[in-house]
């Protein structure tokens, strides 16, 4: 029996990629697709919107969402509509996969509260390559230590609304933890004017927005006489969509709790 999947924000760029990825995963079937109540995509066939072929699943208003019609909901939207979907999943005892970023501390607390009742996978990036990169960064940071300055450089398309990216921030957290720092205390997000010399043990973030860049992240370890760079580049959103559907197939058999892609991929804890 296949797992019934719902997709929130189905008419968006990532929503359409998720529809495609769901169709490619034999363990899953698309059961529902949702959009904002004022979306012009309401009533359209989700498959035709994504691939040009009908699937028999019409895009419905999020206001009419019924969690009894699906086993897991996948959301790559924005914090507010994501949290509304989360409430519906909790009410209907459905699992959730969350790729949305930009949550504030209060909103993150709502995810934790929901995870006491349902299983959910929350990750800033669902690419297997990115999650392997996080492991490599942890190893490099521990080995290089305070002798190397650390900078995180990320680039995304012009439509991305939050900065730095959730993936860049997660990289910063891994780097800080590996070197015994608190990211809140050591992160530097902007430099302009007369900044003075770089303070030791800071972690810098540089953000690029432009064109149709899917997602690129580089961590630069700069020492005296040498540099180490670890880079991940995504050329297709299917990288993330496929990982999210892998998470959807996995999470439905888990107990209530908040999981990440390390759990899905079996990479172990941070």
Catalytic residues, which ones?
A: 156, 160
- Asked if residue 164 has a cis previous peptide bond (ω within 30° of 0), the answer is yes
From CA 101, how far away is CA 11, in angstroms rounded?
18
Kindly give, in sequence order, each residue whose CB lies less than 8 Å from that of residue 48, ignoring residues fewer than 6 positions away.
54, 55
Q: Which helix (H) or strand (E) holds 107?
A: helix 105-114
From CA 40, how far away is CA 36, in angstroms rounded?
9
| Both tokens assigned to 239 | 């990288």
- Residues 52/46/98/76 CA torsion (nearest 10 deg): 60
């Amino acid at each position: 029996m296949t797992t019934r999947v719902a997709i929130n924000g189905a008419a968006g760029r990532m929503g359409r990629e998720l529809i495609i990825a769901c169709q490619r995963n034999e363990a899953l079937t698309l059961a529902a697709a949702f959009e904002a109540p004022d979306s012009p995509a309401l009533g359209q066939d989700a498959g035709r919107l994504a691939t040009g072929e009908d699937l028999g699943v019409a895009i419905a208003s999020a206001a009419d969402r019924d969690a009894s019609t699906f086993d897991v909901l996948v959301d790559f939207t924005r914090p507010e509509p994501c949290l509304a979907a989360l409430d519906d999943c909790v009410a209907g005892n459905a699992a959730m996969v969350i790729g949305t970023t930009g949550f504030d501390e209060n909103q993150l607390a709502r995810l934790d509260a929901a995870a006491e009742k349902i299983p959910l996978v929350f990750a800033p990036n669902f690419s297997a390559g990115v999650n392997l990169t996080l492991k490599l960064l942890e190893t490099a940071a521990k080995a290089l230590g305070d002798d190397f300055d650390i900078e995180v450089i990320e680039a995304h398309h012009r439509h991305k609304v939050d900065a730095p990216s959730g993936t860049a921030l997660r990289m910063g957290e891994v780097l800080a933890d590996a070197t015994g720092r608190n990211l809140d205390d050591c992160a530097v997000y902007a430099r302009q004017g007369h900044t003075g010399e770089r303070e030791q043990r800071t972690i810098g973030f540089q953000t690029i927005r432009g064109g149709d860049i899917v997602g690129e992240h580089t961590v630069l370890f700069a020492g005296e006489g040498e540099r180490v760079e670890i880079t991940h580049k995504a050329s297709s959103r299917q990288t993330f969509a496929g990982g999210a559907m892998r998470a959807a197939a996995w999470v439905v058999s888990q107990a209530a709790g908040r999981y990440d892609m390390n759990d899905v991929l079996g990479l172990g804890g941070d």
